[in-house]
Amino acid sequence: MDFENKTILNNKNITLLQVKNLKVYFYLEEGILKAVDDVSFDIGRKKVLGIVGESGCGKSVTAQSILRIVPHPGRTVEGEILLHQNGNLVDLARLNPSGREIRAIRGKEIAMIFQEPMTSLSPIHTIGNQIMEAVLLHRDISQSEARELTLEMLYKVGISNPHQRIDEYSYQLSGGLRQRAMIAMALSCNPSLLIADEPTTALDVTVQAQILELMKELQREFGMSIIYITHNLGVIAEISDEVLVMYLGKAIEHANIDEIFHNPLHPYTIGLLKSIPKVGKKARTRLEAIKGIVPPPLDLPRGCRFYQRCREAKEGICNVDNPSLIEVTKGHRVSCFLYK
């Protein structure tokens, strides 16, 4: 135990957050929905981890559980979420979800931006007031200093006339500007981790490109780590250093970006990459689709959750045991019986 802690502390310059065996279950009337089931991963400092998966794979719930904002009736059943904070280790999974410690971490150490900024910004307060409120909550500075800082942040996220925008309301801004304001708010306390939950999904392609470029720039400047959640493989390829692929609550593959796109190991990852149309490839060829549909997440069959849709599925193995995530080559982890 001591030894283990020591190695973690020695790694403090490298690792920022460690998620270990995280399980988040939703206790519904119809049964237990295992939204996140035994997921583990690390994020290094100044790294971008992309989490990809289809709807219902548990990628958003994973992010919510880090901030301890999993909606009712979801509960973090098991696991550790270790945050390395100036040499200390804090297990976020043990904190009271409405307690003081987690509130001090939310916004300050870990910030989050959402898919639809309209619903996460208050319509009755100006953009400036909301950012200032976040700043004043976590930093010991005066009102006027906070305003200065807010103007600076708005400028940094590329809002062209911050002196005018600071006193505007969220509905007066376009989708792209709103997302920029959200980012300004999230970064105002200089967090060490930014969780971005599909931040560009609701935006147009040209605006999406702007926001992605902005996030890359800001990451260089502020040096935070980012967990970027999306279903869009193109966006993942654009921004991440590492990728975690999820399917029905399980992490099925975890590797650096180049490995995922050029040497994918899990049949699901391979299938996913083959099934998306790629620009520049000869047009109008048939896509190699993954057969079947994502099974309903309540009462899943035994064995690998991808079994029914998998091309490589072996009866008697894949539908009996659940494969665990094992390291196949350095830094490339996969959960599949093909690699044992």
Partner 1 sequence: MIKKSGMPLLEVKNLKKYFPVEKGFWRKTVGYVKAVDKVNLYINEGETLGVVGESGCGKTTLGRCILRAIEPTEGSILFRLNGDMIDITKLDRESLRATRRYTQMIFQDPYSSLDSRMTVLDIVGEPLLVNNLATGRKMEERVKDLVKVVGLNVKHLKRYPHAFSGGQRQRIGIARALASNPKFIVADEPVSALDVSVQAQTLNLLQDLQVEFKLTYLFISHDLSVIEHISDRVAIMYVGKVVELAKTEEFFLNPLHPYSEALLSALPKPDPRLRMKRIILSGEVANPVNPPSGCYFHPRCKYAEEICKKEEPGWKEVNPDHFVACHFAKELSLKGVI
Instruction: Please identify which residue in 9, 287, 320, 326 interacts with partner 1, judged by CB under 8 A.
Output: 287
Task: Considering only residues 192 through 211, tell me which ones interact with partner 1, judged by CB under 8 A.
Answer: 204-210
Task: Tell me whether residue 177 is exposed, middle or buried, using C-beta atoms within 10 angstroms of its C-beta: 0 to 12, 13 to 18, 19 or more.
Answer: buried
Instruction: Name the minimum Å distance from CB 238 to partner 1.
Output: 5
CA 53 remoteness from chain centre: 11
**Residue 258 or residue 299: which is nearer to partner 1 going by CB?**
258
Q: Which residues contact 64 (CB under 8 A, 6 or more apart)?
A: 70, 71, 74
Contact stretch for partner 1 (CB under 8 A) within 140-148, 187-195, 274-282, 330-338: 274-282
Site string for partner 1, 228-267 (x = CB under 8 A): ---xxxxxxxx-x----------------xx--xx-----
DSSP bridge partners of 225: 193
Instruction: Name the minimum Å distance from CB 272 to partner 1.
Output: 6
Task: Tell me whether residue 96 is exposed, middle or buried, using C-beta atoms within 10 angstroms of its C-beta: 0 to 12, 13 to 18, 19 or more.
Answer: exposed
Size of the site for partner 1 (CB under 8 A): 49
Task: Tell me whether residue 216 is exposed, middle or buried, using C-beta atoms within 10 angstroms of its C-beta: 0 to 12, 13 to 18, 19 or more.
Answer: middle
Q: Which is nearest to 236 in space by CA: 191, 281, 184, 276?
A: 276
Distance from C-alpha of 149 to C-alpha of 181, rounded to nearest angstrom: 13
Site string for partner 1, 157-176 (x = CB under 8 A): -----------------xxx
Instruction: Name the minimum Å distance from CB 271 to partner 1.
Output: 7
Task: Tell me whether residue 277 is exposed, middle or buried, using C-beta atoms within 10 angstroms of its C-beta: 0 to 12, 13 to 18, 19 or more.
Answer: exposed
Instruction: Please identify which residue in 6, 94, 278, 314 interacts with partner 1, judged by CB under 8 A.
Output: 278
Instruction: Please identify which residue in 5, 119, 275, 324 interacts with partner 1, judged by CB under 8 A.
Output: 275
Task: Considering only residues 24 through 83, tell me which ones interact with partner 1, judged by CB under 8 A.
Answer: 54-55
CA 14 remoteness from chain centre: 19
Q: How many CB atoms lie within 10 A of CB 71?
A: 8
Contact stretch for partner 1 (CB under 8 A) within 35-43, 109-117, 149-157, 227-235: 227-235
Length of the chain: 340
Instruction: Name the minimum Å distance from CB 227 to partner 1.
Output: 17
Task: Considering only residues 81 through 110, tell me which ones interact with partner 1, judged by CB under 8 A.
Answer: none
**Residue 93 or residue 235: which is nearer to partner 1 going by CB?**
235
Cα four-point dihedral sign 235, 214, 181, 41: positive
Residue 243, SS3 per DSSP: strand
**Residue 72 or residue 262: which is nearer to partner 1 going by CB?**
262
126 DSSP 8-state letter: B
Position 142 contacts partner 1 (CB under 8 A)? no
Instruction: Please identify which residue in 284, 315, 316, 330 interacts with partner 1, judged by CB under 8 A.
Output: 284
Residues binding partner 1 (CB under 8 A): 54-55, 174-177, 204-210, 212-213, 231-238, 240, 257-258, 261-262, 271-273, 275-280, 283-291, 293-294, 309
